[in-house]
Amino acid sequence: MSSYLVTLLITMGMYIILALGLNIIVGYAGQISLGHAAFWAIGAYSFAILTTKFSLSFVLSGILAVIITVFIGVILGLPSLRVKEDFLAITTIGINFIVQAVFKYTPFFGGAMGIGGIPFPKWGDNMFTNTQFFILTYIMVFFAMLVSFIFKRSWAGLASSAIKDDELASDMVGIDPRRFKILAFALGSAYAGIAGILYASFMGFISPEDFSFAVSVAILSMVMVGGENTIVGPTFGAILLISLPEIFRPIQDYRMLLYGGLLLIMMRFQPSGFFGEGGIVWRLIKPKKS
Amino acid sequence: METNKTKEILKIQDIRVQFGGLSALDGVDLTIPEGAIFGIVGPNGAGKTTLFNVISGILSPTAGKVYFNGKDVTGNPPHVMAKIGIGRTFQVVRPFSSLTVLDNVLAAYGERFYSNIVLSFKNYRKKVYIEEVDKILDETGLLDFRDRVASTLPLGYQRRLEIARALALSPSVILLDESFSGLSFSEMDELSELVLNLNKQGITVLIIEHNMPITLKLCQTISVLNYGKKIAEGEPDDIVHDPLVIEAYLGKKRGKV
């Protein structure tokens, strides 16, 4: 494989993990989040700090980074217990900006210059090749899918669907909405943490600009365009939205226009996404019941 | 009050609920004996649903106590009330609209697993659980609809679904908030049959109902609320002849001119 293709596929893998993580929060538990890049940033920065400033090993830093991301993710998920829908959307946008600002204006986190020299994983004494990193990424993608699958068919998944449909009614049948919302945020953050580690390590350099609000919108677009509440949907959405700008390289400058336009068309004609319930793909594959 | 030998399952003591300047409930006392079918009637805005909201934990009362099986459960959140055995339906149906009928009831059946994080991650579509839920669906007449998405059910069946969901909690008390409204005559007959059946199994039933014939037929005791106060309580026959009740529903007799 050419190194260009490997890089592209690794980026795609990271976004698949991010989209699947956001899907747990938005698609499964119905808690809108427009600040998913913030969780990604926390994962990436934790890993960067632990490896560069504390010189911890790749694996140990990775594990700690995920724990830190989950911990902060749960705290940032607390507003979802109090605010709903539009208000939650705005709150999560705020969280995105705050987290970005903290990384940008705190010298400890490298400020606007970011953090460089983040190590690549090692295999014995040798540095990973890009192909090995690609394999590592897709092992993580596989686990992300597996956990999503287990979650969706578990009691916790059922409880989350119930909360998404009617929070009060779910409370009345013995589901503690707070518990399962926090659980969704914790899982979603764990995914973002893993994606953050992969990103920081692969790029070797991160700066606050990598985790802007526009990135959060892009991740949410992947989930919605592909079809929330499914596993194949966000995966497809990530592949589509990462590969489209590459295919249409000549119009690279119009990438955000492409995202926006696609999102608009999807919301108008296919609100449940390509692979969502009643989505266009299922209608094409399955013969209509008479 | 008459002294009854049967155990009281639910005791509501001097409940007050204040919404700003408005007293939705103004010191209501109720004692519900175990195994009863207990009716709560009253004109619109009398505070009936507010009372159910207090019992089921949706509202915390401004003052007063709720005792369940002798234990003070005032102000517990709904999922705790559900866990200890209080199930309810809503006046305006609230099914989990994107889930199938089976999953709707399973979601309530899962109540026994939700507080354990390990069990929470186990597969819920196991044969044992589905068989249990199928029994409830059979009892409530929903078995033919088990794989239908809840939002596509007719209203009468959505009301049954709410009852099925409450039953999946294995409740000792079930609160029915106008479950009979909007049903056809045959649907009402089937539903009263179901209520009597549940009661025979030992479930205490609290009913809010506007349909007087049904209430009078089903309930052993009826409490009448008006403007947040209990104005009468007794057997159905006494209630319909109580002057205060007639006044609340039909207005005062005009004085002599």
User: Looking at CA atoms only, how far is residue A165 from chain B in angstroms?
Assistant: 5
Q: Which chain B residues contact residue A168 at CB under 8 A?
A: 58, 78, 94
Site of tokens 């009831």: B105
Task: Give the whole-number percent of chain B exceeding pLDDT 90.
Answer: 65
Taking CB atoms and an 8 Å cutoff, what residues of chain A touch B106?
158
With a cut of 80, say whether residue B256 has pLDDT above it.
no
Per-window interface: A 151-190 vs B, CB < 8 A = 151, 153-159, 161-162, 164-166, 168-177, 179-180, 183
For residue A256, tell me if it sits in a domain. Answer: no
- The mean pLDDT value for B225-231 works out to 90
> Which segment of A47-51, A231-235, A278-282, B246-250 scores lowest on mean pLDDT?
A278-282
Chain A partners within 8 Å of B103 (Cβ): 158, 161
Work out the minimum CA distance from A59 to partner chain B, whole angstroms: 26
Rounded to the nearest angstrom, the minimum Cα separation between A192 and chain B is: 20
A25 domain residue, yes or no: yes
Range of the domain at A12: 3-212
Q: Which of A168, A173, A177 sits opposite B169 (nearest CB)?
A: A173
> Which domains occur in chain B, in start order?
8-250 (3.40.50.300)
pTM over 0.80: yes
State how far the Cα of B64 lies from the Cα of B49, in Å rounded to an integer.
17
Structure confidence by residue, pLDDT tens digits, B138-182: 999 999 999 999 999 998 899 999 999 999 999 999 999 998 988
Instruction: Please check whether residue A227 lies inside any domain of the structure.
Output: no
On chain B, the residues whose CB falls within 8 A of the CB of A175 are 79, 107, 110-111, 114
Which of B99, B121, B168 shows the shortest C-beta gap to A154?
B121
Q: Residue A267 domain-assigned?
A: no
Q: How many domains does chain A have?
A: 1
- Predicted complex ipTM: 0.89
- pLDDT at A245 > cutoff 90: no
> Is pLDDT above 80 for B73?
yes
A103: in domain? yes
A159 and B110: CB-CB below 8 Å?
yes
Beta-strand ranges (E) seen in chain B are 8-19, 22-33, 37-41, 63-68, 71-72, 86-88, 173-177, 204-208, 221-226, 229-234
Chain B contact probe: residue of A70, A151, A158, A175 with most B CBs at under 10 A: A158
- d(CA A144, CA A138) in angstroms, rounded, equals 9
Task: For residue A122, tell me if it sits in a domain.
Answer: yes
Residue showing tokens 């209990």: B230
**pLDDT bracket for residue B210 (50, 70, 90):** confident
Residue A259 pLDDT: 72
Does A165 sit within 8 Å of B125, measured CB to CB?
Answer: no
Give the minimum alpha-carbon distance from A152 to chain B in angstroms, rounded to a whole number.
Answer: 9
Return the amino acid letter for B219.
C
Instruction: Quote the Cα angle for B43-B46-B51, to 5°.
Output: 130
Tens of pLDDT, residues B12-41: 999 999 988 888 999 999 999 999 999 999
pLDDT at A276: 79
Tokens read off for A17: 């993990």
Model confidence at A171: pLDDT above 90: yes
Confidence of residue B45 (pLDDT cuts 50, 70, 90): confident
Tell me the average pLDDT across B60-70: 93
> In chain A, what is the greatest distance between 2 CA atoms, to the nearest angstrom?
65
Please report the pLDDT score of residue A287 as a whole number: 62
Of the pLDDT bands very low, low, confident and very high (cuts 50, 70, 90), residue A257 is: confident
Convert the pLDDT of each residue in B85-120 to its tens digit. Answer: 999 999 999 999 999 999 999 999 999 999 888 888
pLDDT of the residue at B251:
76
Does residue A147 fall inside a structural domain?
yes
Q: Is A193 inside any structural domain?
A: yes
For residue B105, CA distances in Å to B56, B94, B108, B140, B155 come to 18, 13, 5, 11, 17
pLDDT on residue B1: 44
Mean local confidence (pLDDT), B237-249: 84
